[in-house]
A and B are shown apart, each in its own frame.
Chain A
Amino acid sequence: MSRVIALGLACGLAALFVLSLGLWGRYGATIAWDTFLAYCL
């Protein structure tokens, strides 16, 4: 059971990584970088 949960979590994080790459490509250019940089981190 633990093995299944661990695999599920790892796959979920990997899927999030792929999704993020796609979303960076799609929405990266729309980010208001000045406010993002000053207030995000």
Chain B
Amino acid sequence: MSPQLWVIILCGATAMTLSLGIRASFGLFLGPMSVDLAMSREAFAIALAAQNLLWGIVAPFAGAIADKYGPIRVCIVGGVVYAAGLLLAATGASVGVVQLGLAAVGIALGIAGFSVVLGAVGRAAPPEHRSLALGIASAGGSFGQFAIVPVSQAFVTSYGWSTALMLLAAISFMLVPLAYGLGERKIVPGMNQTIGQAVREASGHSGFWFLTAGFFVCGFQVTFVAVHLPAFIADKGLPAWLGAASLSLIGLFNIAGTLIAGWLGGRYRKKYVLSLLYLLRSLAFVLFLIAPVSETSVLVFGAALGFLWLGTVPLTSGLVAQIFGPAYMSMLYGGVFLSHQVGSFLGAWLGGRVYDATGSYDAIWWAAVVLGIVAAILHAPIADRTLVRAPAPA
């Protein structure tokens, strides 16, 4: 890979580190903010739920603009909105203002998040290196979830929540210079299409819908586990530190898993790697459910699931680029990602709902198993050949 391509990959990975890392820190603020602002957990949770949905809703539109005009200006706007959202929350003027700030961060994630960054990387990388390049950029997001959280905690402990949010706003503003590293809009095959033609082409391709359905399952599974695993562990009478340790293991193994998934996607057909990944997730769930729950089984489950966590990102985005070409990759991947966010919302909400209704997480665990098998099956028939289009009339 050329030094120019490495600059784009590393700028993308660093942007992902910052944007996803800061976003993963918000739970640290609930305690001190709820005390100072008399902000209920529900009010905080509503803001974060809105943040996640806005992230998904904005992504395809921001992606379309990035595909049309290049990623630089879009990512600059994303960085400014991100910093502005954090500053708004830092004022703590009222609960509503804090919610508005956190929601603005969701919009910024949609603008400068996975879809736009991966689109820039996907367009810059030649097909033979694309999957690994997407894996490295995606792993930046995984790395951020591990790396930025202790930085945020250090800020909160040392300076209080408001100053901490301002400092994070300053860090998020780094997205602006990093945007310049993503490169100008590169001319790639397929750019003679209009946005409408690209949308019609994708919506008429069964593979797009299979990928969309599969990514829904990914969002459902990972968010259900992230939100409800600690409570599940506590219900089994295991120590509280185990919940934190298992999620930390997920975060650490996720970095390696995402890189390896990207590498595998360059060597083997991505749809089969995706099917395998979803099958292994289901297998991990089944083994975890039928084995006696112990400290060891929880830690092994965390490591195994972490390895399978966000490997879906380079594979799914790589398949979008492979089938439809990289010209409208940000927009099309943004569309697929919206389904991921809806799945995330349902995984978090239904987990709580089913637990309240039945007093157990069993039904939702088994639903996650079945959905994983369904996702594995759905990816197998994807027609992953690159679409050949008639040349544009002269």
Contact = CB atoms under 8 A, between A and B. Distances in A.
B13 A30 contact: no
A23 B154 contact: yes
B46 to A, nearest CB: 11
Nearest to B18: A16
Given A17-B143, A20-B146, A35-B28, A41 B17 contact: no
Contacts of A37: 27, 226-227, 230, 243-244, 247
Main secondary structure of the interface of A (DSSP, over half): helix
A5 B243 CA distance: 39
Interface in A1-41: 2-3, 5-6, 9-10, 12-13, 16-17, 19-20, 23-24, 26-28, 30-41
Contacts of B147: 16-17, 19-20
A41 B227 contact: yes
Contacts of A30: 153, 157
Nearest to A23: B150
A2 B247 CA distance: 37
Nearest to B222: A41
Contacts of B322: none
Contact of A2 (B4, B14, B44): B4
A27 B46 CA distance: 28
A12 B147 CA distance: 12
A13 B143 contact: yes
A39 to B, nearest CB: 3
Q: Is the interface of B mostly helix, strand, loop or mixed?
A: helix
Contacts of A20: 146-151
Contact of B26 (A12, A31, A34, A40): A40
B28 A13 contact: no
B30 interface: yes
Contacts of A10: 10
Chain B contact-residue range equals 35 or more
A6 B27 CA distance: 33
Given A9-B11, A16-B147, A20-B147, A41 B181 contact: no
A39 B44 contact: yes
A27 B154 contact: yes
Of A10, A23, A33, A40, the most chain B CB neighbours within 10 A belong to A40
Given A16-B147, A20-B150, A26-B154, A6 B10 contact: yes
B45 interface: yes
Contacts of B146: 20
Given A6-B3, A9-B11, A30-B157, A36 B150 contact: no
Contact of A13 (B17, B48, B230): B17
Nearest to A10: B10
Contacts of B181: 5, 9
Interface of B: 2-4, 6-7, 10-11, 13-14, 17, 24-28, 30-31, 41, 44-45, 48, 140, 143, 145-151, 153-154, 157, 181, 223, 226-227, 230, 240-241, 243-244, 247
8 contacts: A5-B7, A9-B13, A13-B14, A19-B147, A23-B153, A27-B150, A34-B240, A37-B230
